Homo-oligomer: A and B are copies of this chain.
Amino acid sequence: MADKDKLVPRSEDFNEWYNTVVLKADMADYGPVRGTMIVKPYGWALWENMQQALDRRFKATGVQNAGFPMFIPMSFLEKEARHVEGFAPELAVVTHGGGQELAEPLVVRPTSETIIGHAYANWIQSYRDLPVLINLWNSVVRWELRTKLFLRTLEFYWQEGHSAHATAVEADARARLMLDVYTDFAINEAAIPVIPGEKSALERFAGADQTWTIEAMMGDGKALQSGTSHNLGQNFAKAFDIQYLDPGNQLQHCWTTSWGLSTRFVGAVVMAHGDDNGLVLPPRLAPYQVVLVPIYKKDAEKTAVLAATQRIAQELTDAAVRVKVDDRDNVTPGYKFNDWELRGVPVRLEIGPRDLEKNSVALARRDVPGREGKQFVSQDGLVQTVQALLTDIQANLLAKATQFRDANTHDVTSYDAFKEAVQTGFARVWWAGDDADELKVKEETKATIRCFPVDQPDGRGVCFYTGKAAARIAIFGRSY
């Protein structure tokens, strides 16, 4: 429920603001087991809209969904050396089932590359069976010690895509294609101007040859890794014997990829667009795009106002606008305004007795606070007016977030300037350091290479840290 007074200003304590908003907006709650999360209906509806936007895009590239078991034999993980090294410390282990101790302990999947590898090895015989393009919508478990709702929880919801190909070129193309899908989704659905790029070797997925990422800047200037796509080379194909007969009847190992985006992205939306009054949701993903608040004092007014509210709600619903009518009679309109502001509904539509007389309604846009964001419009053509407003809000959120990102991304050439830049945002630098240099910079500044952006300038430059000639620029930032 809206209890606006207790919301800490975002600028004062971003972390506390985030936790409070997520709880007060009824997006999520803590589960009874430490580090687990209950996603409440409002948060889940947002996630469902994300799922649909992604699923549509996946299917357009030929991907099909499937369901794989959550239990994986411990021995599977041990087949890929770097993979088990990366995930072993975070595993949840089932040792008993049906009242008996198990002969081999089972791992609750932290990710499914190994069990996928096992299945693909059985399913794939010939080049005609390729590519295999499968996606899973599920939850995975990683025993995290420091947790935060949506951003890092012991169990989280995500999709994990897994493909197998005949050639290295095709696997590379698929890994990049899914990076493009994530980028398009983030920008055009969530209004988050992510930076697509490649991870450094140190930040790669355990078992990948190459990891692609979309990196988003949050409202405090920190980075959030928001989706990743991995070129797994032949690592898992060799560990699990995923082989096929090529047209010349020769046995070849496949090339595989995997790619995932999780409920962490819900956190990205909160932190990229939210303000001191709470959530600000992009219209394309918002569970409710318009909240209708009927305003009346006398009983005589009530009937007519509620009837008009319902009529308008129906018109909007018929036009596929997602609406909520707030007809609670135990709280004031002012309370409702605060409540739906906190919950980030893009447009508030108010209607009262005078509106009935004047054939008007009031529309307040969430992205522009106060009087400036409020207008009185005719009920004639209201559906079109609302749709245009939603489109405008979506565009405005992207523009604001892009402006913020660019204003807080600095091209720096000295370490001092670098240190200052990563206090409040991203540093974009020429980089020629090795793993040790990267770790040193992290130790000294808490900033890591978020990615080598896909979009690179021409030519070469000088590494700000090593002074060596550098072939590409990197984005550094502190991250969640």
Contact = CB atoms under 8 A, between A and B. Distances in A.
Contacts of A248: none
A65 B48 contact: yes
Contacts of A32: 69, 72-73, 76, 115, 118
Nearest to A116: B38
Interface residues of A, dominant DSSP: mixed
Interface in A62-89: 64-73, 76, 88-89
Nearest to A75: B32
Nearest to A33: B71
Q: How many copies does the complex hold?
A: 2
Interface string A119-140: 1001100001000001000110
Contacts of A69: 31-33, 36-38, 154-155
Interface string A44-72: 11011000000000000000111111111
A316 interface: no
B65 A38 contact: no
Nearest to A134: B41
A172 interface: no
Contacts of A64: 41, 44-45
Contacts of A108: 70, 94, 108
Interface hub of A67, A105, A106, A122 (most chain B Cβ within 10 A): A67
Contacts of A94: 92-95, 108
A89 B93 contact: no
Given A41-B66, A93-B96, A93-B97, A122 B71 contact: no
A459 interface: no
A97 B72 CA distance: 15
B90 A93 contact: no
A36 B119 CA distance: 13
Contact of A33 (B36, B88, B106, B143): B106
A69 B140 CA distance: 10
Contacts of A105: 96
B67 A45 contact: no
A279 to B, nearest CB: 18
Contact of A67 (B39, B88, B115): B39
Contacts of A457: none
Interface string A100-117: 000001101000000100
A91 B92 CA distance: 16
Nearest to A142: B98
A31 B67 CA distance: 10
Contacts of A65: 41, 44-45, 48
A410 to B, nearest CB: 38
Nearest to A145: B98
Given A41-B134, A43-B66, A71-B154, 14 more contacts: A29-B123, A32-B115, A38-B67, A39-B67, A40-B66, A48-B65, A67-B263, A70-B141, A91-B96, A91-B97, A93-B95, A94-B94, A97-B143, A108-B108
A303 to B, nearest CB: 22
Contact of A128 (B93, B106, B330): B330
Interface string A337-361: 0000000000000000000000000
Nearest to A70: B155
B98 A89 contact: yes
Given A67-B157, A95-B96, A119 B38 contact: yes
B143 A98 contact: yes
Nearest to A41: B64
A329 to B, nearest CB: 10
A99 interface: yes
Contacts of A97: 91-93, 143, 154
Nearest to A36: B69
Contacts of A70: 70, 108, 139, 141, 155
Contacts of A36: 69, 71
A141 B96 CA distance: 12
